[in-house]
């Protein structure tokens, strides 16, 4: 099966914009939807983006998702960073009825 590779950690300042990447190792990133989950310390993951670029109700429009076939990767962009955005972010996709998570990116807002 394929892997999803995410940078281990990213830091950015409050008010800035950050983009988290998720690269698919084999197969096309555009073939199957990508989801993004946010996990704050001590909490269960919650969805911030599903089906590549859709936001669940309640997720601010500061969060946006995209996929790029040329780099075979998905991206999560968070604008207007606040300290509440500090969390682990996981991308997730699937193929042949198998679900795969990326290793996660720890976002630090300082």
Partner 1 sequence: QVQLQESGPGLVKPSETLSLTCTVSGGAISSYYWSWIRQPPGKGLEWIGYVYYSGSTSYNPSLKSRVRISVDTSKNHFSLRLSSVTAADTALYYCTRGSHCGGDCYSPYHMDVWGKGTTVTVSS
At closest approach, how far in Å is the CB of 49 from partner 1?
Answer: 10
| Interface region with partner 1, contact rule CB under 8 A, candidates 14-22, 66-74, 76-84, 85-93 | 85-93
Phi and psi at residue 84, in whole multiples of 5°?
A: -70, -20
CB 59 within 8 A of CB 14: no
The residue range among 12-20, 66-74, 77-85, 97-105 that interacts with partner 1, by the rule CB under 8 A, is: 97-105
d(CA 45, CA 27): 26
Which DSSP symbol is given to 41? T
Q: Does 31 bind partner 1 (CB under 8 A)?
A: no
CB atoms within 10 A of CB 109: 19
Q: Which two tokens stand for residue 50?
A: 């599903």
Span interacting with partner 1, options 14-22, 23-31, 71-79, 84-92, rule CB under 8 A: 84-92
Q: Which residues bind partner 1 (CB under 8 A)?
A: 1, 32-33, 35, 37, 39, 44-47, 50-51, 56, 88, 90, 92-94, 97-104
């Amino acid at each position: 099966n394929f892997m999803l590779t995410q940078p281990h950690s990213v830091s950015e300042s409050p008010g800035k914009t950050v983009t988290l990447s998720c690269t698919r190792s084999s197969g096309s990133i555009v073939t199957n939807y990508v989801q993004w989950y946010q996990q704050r310390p001590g909490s269960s993951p919650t969805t911030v983006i599903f089906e590549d670029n859709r936001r669940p109700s309640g997720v601010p429009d500061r969060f946006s998702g995209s996929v790029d076939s040329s780099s075979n990767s998905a991206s999560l962009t968070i604008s207007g960073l606040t300290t509440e955005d500090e969390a682990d972010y996981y991308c997730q996709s699937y193929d042949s009825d198998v679900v795969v998570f990326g290793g996660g990116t720890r976002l630090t807002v300082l």
